[in-house]
Amino acid sequence: MRNQFDGEHFRVYLKIWRNMHNLSVSDVMELTGMARSTYSFYESGDRAPDLAHFSRLCQLMSVDAAEFFKTPEKVVKRGQ
Q: What is the pLDDT of residue 72?
A: 59
Q: What are 61-76's pLDDT values in tens digits?
A: 888 888 877 765 554 4
Q: Which domain holds residue 17?
A: 7-79
Q: What are 13-43's pLDDT values in tens digits?
A: 899 999 999 999 999 999 999 999 999 999 9
**Does any domain span residue 58?**
yes
Which SS3 state, helix, strand or coil, does residue 73 take?
helix
CATH of the domain at 24: 1.10.260.40
CA 69, distance to chain mean position in Å, is 11
In what helix (H) or strand (E) does residue 31 lie, and over which residues does it extend? helix 25-32
**Does any domain span residue 1?**
no
**Does any domain span residue 25?**
yes
Measured between alpha carbons, how far is 68 from 80 in angstroms, rounded to an integer?
18
**Does any domain span residue 73?**
yes
**Does any domain span residue 69?**
yes
**Does any domain span residue 2?**
no
Domains identified in the chain, total number:
1
